[in-house]
Amino acid sequence: MGSGGAARRRHFDPITKCSSVEPRTTQTVAADLDGTLLISPSAFPYYLLVSLEAGSLIRALTLLLSVPFIYFTYIVLSEKIAIKAFVFITFARLRVRDVEMVARSVLPRFYAEDVRQDTWAVFSSFGRRCIVTANPRIMVEWFVKEFLGADVVIGTELECSRNGERFTGFVKGKGVMVGERKREAIVKEFGDELPDLGIGDRVTDHEFMAVCKQGYMVPRSRCDPVPRNKLLKQVIFHDGRLVRRPTPFVALLTFLWLPVGFFISLFRVYTNIMIPEKIARYNYVIQGIKLVIKGTPPPPLKKGQGGVLLVCNHRTVLDPVIIAVALRRKVSCVTYSISKFSELISPIKAVALSRERERDAANIKKLLEEGDLVICPEGTTCREPFLLRFSALFAELTDRIVPVAINTKQGVFYGTTVRGHKLLDPYFVFMNPRPTYEVTFLDQLPAEITCRGGKSPIEVANHIQRVIGDTLGFECTNLTRKDKYAMLAGTDGRVANKKESEKEKYK
């Protein structure tokens, strides 16, 4: 789409004629974002993600319903007015801090899947890189700097309230960064040393491209996205509930499914609480929950014999429950935090860790005496094909250790969150039309690879991480729960106990 009314049409060669082979480390490039560096010419999915994750479901629905009118305005009247409408509906009264966190934790994963190969090949060959976009700068700056290596980000600036905590919904200064505004911003930023190359995809980009020494247009043609591991960084952590990029059509289908999925989820959650693990697997089949079991599960414990420690990677809050269903018997689990309500509705025994080493060790030993125990030593979930560092505490407590590799497929909603309501995690898992779990039971660790066999706890933990990673095809990392929460929420991921909460309250 493009208005092009006030812009002067010029001729620029297509980007395919620009050589990306020779490095241009001493030169500067300026590029538009939507339809240029990104495959999608529309920023709507990213506005909707901000309105949903930093705002509310009602705000996101309002934005979706406004799409026909805003697109009509874009095509017939003015690109600037259409963008201002998107900005107002999305940002009015939102907290600046919330938008910043969504830009860091939610948007990069969707942006990373949308980077255009041919433009990226050219853009990445330059030493100094500038992004000039009509999008609000706060939406795009984190991604383009961290993942695309942009040195300068020029975008639409948003007006804030007097205390600077909330957006008013209006644009700041001279308005939306379109047409002549892009050209003025480029000239102001670079002065006499204008960019060597300008890249755009629509007529309104001609203004800034014309002041660059060379210019190329990105055609509206099909193009494969850049593999995410070819960008400057990989997306390991991300937040938000939506699995698919919410184009208007996908967003409409998602919101229509929401009430249906919610009632299906309630049915799945509460019927499975009452059903014994021996037959729960058959109930899963009836309810459309796919459970794939591989490997040989450990046999039930004998009288006078302690339980097996089942060490698994962590994908969703339901991992221990799924393992119990796969084993067809009761197990216990330990977790970093669990609400009273979650503990009440859990079909298996769940015990919260206190983070006091001796106390936690005693609790784990006691649970192992009672039966099989599931532990997720990563300490938090990871959605992408990576394994976080495994805590080594479990390795000191028993030599009967069975690694379990878990993978999931969620087509509509993610069943994990950092900034959202964790209480809803199991419901979001089961709101997917066909949630899929794949559980692989690996061989019990030989005695020589346990602490009793002379290995240190860290060596045991690292070995299990590698075995699970090889089984799933996941990459092992040294990242921790603390790293995840620092990235996605700006906290250390620690849940304060009651005493700590009281101390904080009366400070």
Would the CA dihedral through 129, 135, 141, 146 be positive or negative? negative
What confidence category does residue 501 fall into, taking pLDDT thresholds of 50, 70 and 90?
very low
Q: Which stretch of DSSP H or E encloses residue 39?
A: none
On the question of pLDDT at 306 being above 50, the answer is yes
DSSP state of 205: G
On the question of pLDDT at 230 being above 90, the answer is yes
Span between the terminal Cα atoms of the chain, in Å:
55
User: Residue 141: phi, psi to the nearest 5?
Assistant: -60, -45
User: Residue 144: phi, psi to the nearest 5?
Assistant: -70, -30
On the question of pLDDT at 366 being above 50, the answer is yes
Q: Which stretch of DSSP H or E encloses residue 384?
A: none
On the question of pLDDT at 252 being above 80, the answer is yes
What is the rounded (10 degree) CA torsion for 18, 22, 28, 33?
50
The predicted structure's pLDDT at residue 362: 87
Cβ-based neighbours of 232, under 8 Å, separated by 6 or more: 146, 147, 148, 149
The predicted structure's pLDDT at residue 243: 97
The predicted structure's pLDDT at residue 1: 41
Instruction: Tally the C-alpha atoms within 13 A of residue 46's C-alpha that lie toward its C-beta.
Output: 29
DSSP lists the bridge partners of residue 409 as 436
Rounded Cα distance between 383 and 234, Å, is 13
The predicted structure's pLDDT at residue 302: 77
Residue recorded with tokens 């494969």: 224
Query: With a threshold of 0.85, does the pTM exceed it?
Result: yes
On the question of pLDDT at 263 being above 70, the answer is yes
Contact 99, 54 (CB under 8 A): yes
Contact 308, 394 (CB under 8 A): no
On the question of pLDDT at 38 being above 90, the answer is yes
> For 421-466, how does the pLDDT look when each residue is reduced to its tens digit (9 = 90+)?
888 999 999 999 999 999 999 999 999 999 999 999 999 999 999 9
| Kind of pairing between the strands at 290-295 and 436-441 | parallel
User: Residue 185: phi, psi to the nearest 5?
Assistant: -65, -40
Q: Which stretch of DSSP H or E encloses residue 315?
A: none
- Secondary structure of residue 215 in the 3-state scheme: strand
What confidence category does residue 20 fall into, taking pLDDT thresholds of 50, 70 and 90?
low
Rounded Cα distance between 301 and 306, Å, is 7
For residues 353-358, give the mean pLDDT.
Answer: 78
The predicted structure's pLDDT at residue 475: 97
Q: Which amino acid is at 401?
A: I
How much of the chain, in percent, has pLDDT values that exceed 90? 74
The predicted structure's pLDDT at residue 339: 65
Q: Which amino acid is at 413?
A: F
Total length of the chain: 507
DSSP lists the bridge partners of residue 129 as 29
Least confident of 64-73, 278-287, 294-303, 449-458: 294-303
> For 193-215, how does the pLDDT look when each residue is reduced to its tens digit (9 = 90+)?
999 999 999 999 999 999 999 99
For residues 102-130, give the mean pLDDT.
Answer: 95
DSSP state of 287: T
- Secondary structure of residue 296 in the 3-state scheme: coil
The predicted structure's pLDDT at residue 504: 44
| Kind of pairing between the strands at 214-217 and 126-136 | unpaired
**Angle, vertex CA 40, rays to CA 38 and CA 41, nearest 5:** 100
Mean pLDDT of the chain: 90
Contact 32, 121 (CB under 8 A): no
Tokens of 374: 């599931």
On the question of pLDDT at 498 being above 80, the answer is no
- Secondary structure of residue 357 in the 3-state scheme: helix
Q: Which amino acid is at 45?
A: P
Sheet strands side by side (includes 24-31):
13-14, 214-217, 197-200, 24-31, 126-136, 152-156
For residues 215-230, give the mean pLDDT.
Answer: 91
For residues 358-372, give the mean pLDDT.
Answer: 89
- Secondary structure of residue 462 in the 3-state scheme: helix
Tokens of 76: 């017939």
The predicted structure's pLDDT at residue 344: 72
Residue 411 to residues 34, 45, 138, 245, 430: CA-CA distances in angstroms? 25, 17, 29, 11, 11
For residues 19-30, give the mean pLDDT.
Answer: 82
Higher local confidence (pLDDT), 359 or 99: 99
On the question of pLDDT at 505 being above 50, the answer is no
Rounded Cα distance between 200 and 178, Å, is 12
